Amino acid sequence: MANQCILVPNISTVPGHEALASRMLRWLLHKNVVDSQLTTCGAIGNRMGYATAAGARRVARAPERLPFDEPVNGLQIITKRCIYTPGEGFNEEAGCPHCRREVGEPLFESLDEWFPGHTDNFMCPLCGFEDDINGFLFLEPCGFSNLGFIFNGWQPAGFTDAFVAAFSDQLGFAVRQVNVKR
């Protein structure tokens, strides 16, 4: 898996996430961003995904860099709790939005409670501020959610700001873009 652009809702537990995943796939199909047939164009799990379609050129920041001719080029939708980070070299730095101090080490240690769903929140050990873990500040964008949209091979092409805004509107939640480079 060389690279990915991942769109992750800024909420740990998206209500009705499986139905929402289906609705978002229909929207992406309608916009011709991905093909409707599942193929082995993915990079994770069983590698099944939705290949990049011609309409992707309208939503990519650098359409000439889309992975049309690559074997790994498709969308995979994750509907289980997952942690999305930029990959190699991720420095796990995070800050509290309330006291503005570094809380990366305790925040990332708290993922043992977050991952199995015991909690969605993190409490700043320095000031006591508590919020969904996605509400904290990250030096490098990362996401924590039970829903994620992984566009395999898309990192060099990226997304237009208009597409990310439209995606967020359709989803009904703000999203964070996580760029994975390997």
Split at pLDDT 50, 70, 90, the class of 89 is confident
Per-residue pLDDT of 19-42, as tens digits, reads: 999 999 999 999 999 999 999 999
Per-residue pLDDT of 108-126, as tens digits, reads: 999 999 999 999 999 999 9
Which residues lie across from 75 on neighbouring strands?
A: 50, 151
Q: Which residues contact 165 (CB under 8 A, 6 or more apart)?
A: none
C-alpha torsion sign, points 66, 72, 77, 78: negative
| Reported pTM | 0.95
pLDDT for the residue numbered 87 = 81
Split at pLDDT 50, 70, 90, the class of 47 is very high
pLDDT for the residue numbered 22 = 98
